[in-house]
């Protein structure tokens, strides 16, 4: 199985709901919770961390954090990821849970942005192993295991 690799270009978290995202150089990912200090972190949820790639942000003319993403990636095509893939970053590991769909917040950023970003909004994940994250750190994708198809008669 081949592994894809990229890196962390930016890190953001929301200290309070409804407030601007705060940019940091490093943060701790907490097992089954989200990012330390993030007001949107929720134990047991499938939407603990949002990943967005800087290449898409550049095409849209937006700075990192503008789409409320937690981790801005670089050199990693997020649309090539699948539910069940693991993303390793140092000691931390994330389980990709779903593609993020555009929300009403995007229209506050720029009218029409929901349509512009449709299909490339980023990926949501759960933290399955705690660890420190920092800008410049490598992200390594481990594809979800594929179950072999076996006919019931063998």
Question: Could you tell me the CA-to-CA distances from 146 to 11, 84, 94, 126, 143 in Å, in that order?
Answer: 31, 10, 18, 20, 9
Give the pLDDT score at 107. Answer: 86
Give the pLDDT score at 101. Answer: 85
What is the torsional sign of CA 115, 94, 88, 84? negative
Question: Could you tell me the CA-to-CA distances from 73 to 27, 109, 112 in Å, in that order?
Answer: 15, 20, 24
Write a three-state SS string for 84-95: CCEEEECCEEEE
pLDDT along the chain (154 residues), means of 10: 82 91 97 96 93 96 94 93 95 96 84 88 96 97 78 58
SS3 22: strand
SS3 109: helix
Give the pLDDT score at 148. Answer: 59
Question: Which of 134, 9, 147, 148 lies closest to 78 in space, CA to CA?
Answer: 9
């Amino acid at each position: 199985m081949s592994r894809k690799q990229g890196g962390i270009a930016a890190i953001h978290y929301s200290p309070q709901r409804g407030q601007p995202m705060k940019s940091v150089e490093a943060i701790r990912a907490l097992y089954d919770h989200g990012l330390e200090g993030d007001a949107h972190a929720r134990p047991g949820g499938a939407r603990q961390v949002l990943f967005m790639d800087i290449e898409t942000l550049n095409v849209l003319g937006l700075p990192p954090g503008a789409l409320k993403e937690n981790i801005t990636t670089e050199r990693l095509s997020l649309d090539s990821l699948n539910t069940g893939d693991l993303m390793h970053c140092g000691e931390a590991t994330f389980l990709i849970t779903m593609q993020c769909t555009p929300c009403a917040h995007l229209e506050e950023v720029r009218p029409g942005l929901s349509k512009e970003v449709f299909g490339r909004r980023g990926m949501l994940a759960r933290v399955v192993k705690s660890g420190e994250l920092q800008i410049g750190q490598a992200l390594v994708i481990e594809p979800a295991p594929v179950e072999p198809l076996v006919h019931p008669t063998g």
